Chain A
Amino acid sequence: DTEVTQTPKHLVMGMTNKKSLKCEQHMGHRAMYWYKQKAKKPPELMFVYSYEKLSINESVPSRFSPECPNSSLLNLHLHALQPEDSALYLCASSQDRPTNEKLFFGSGTQLSVL
């Protein structure tokens, strides 16, 4: 199994809603990533978990809350989002450091905030 699975594929939410994005991999990878991609822009790094610990937070607003319950799962909890948070959210995983191993990407969750 060389896949990163993201659910849901599409999500529409209001500004007062609470929702979660899910990401799963069964490749034994120890690093997992969240990226945000606006239309016609490259993916922007948000969070990185390494060995189930948050190692990078790129100054992301607190309305985005990551969670890594175990080495195979990564969640992104969303609360009180703004319309400008509408974007494609991509999850990725790597064996450890991406200096030697590529990142595997999921197909993303297209999020619309109304």
Chain B
Amino acid sequence: SQELEQSPQSLIVQEGKNLTINCTSSKTLYGLYWYKQKYGEGLIFLMMLQKGGEEKSHEKITAKLDEKKQQSSLHITASQPSHAGIYLCGAVLGGYNFNKFYFGSGTKLNVKP
């Protein structure tokens, strides 16, 4: 969806480095989700953020939601080759149909050993 923009589009980092991926919405967010995808495969759920200011962590991945800015960030600490893949943010946009779940443009991450 063009209403959900991610940056950067692609990222190459050295193993052990930290990185941040951003997701910005042009519409009101009703929850923000992060998924990871390996090429040609299904989507793996990472985290769901529902409230402004909410922050969640799982292993070395932390996601935050800034509801006022309609923005979320995904931060990976001490990246590993296993973190490589495509990261997608997703959300319900707009308020009249709560099943309209859209994805952002995606961020392709490569981690060099």
Contact = CB atoms under 8 A, between A and B. Distances in A.
Interface in A37-55: 40-45, 48, 50, 55
Interface string A87-114: 0101010100111101111111010000
B40 A48 contact: no
A41 B33 CA distance: 18
A45 B97 CA distance: 13
Contact of A105 (B31, B42, B50): B42
Given A42-B105, A102-B33, A97 B42 contact: no
Interface residues of B, number: 26
Interface in B65-96: 88, 90, 92
A42 B6 CA distance: 11
A100 B100 contact: no
Contact of B99 (A41, A42, A56, A110): A56
Q: Which of B43, B100, B103 has the most CB of A within 10 A?
A: B43
Contacts of B102: 45
A110 B41 CA distance: 9
A48 B99 CA distance: 7
Interface residues of A, number: 28
Contacts of A76: none
Interface string A47-81: 01010000110000000000000000000000000
A50 B101 CA distance: 13
B88 A98 contact: no
Interface string B48-65: 101000000000000000
Contact of A90 (B42, B92, B97, B108): B42
B51 to A, nearest CB: 12
Nearest to A35: B103
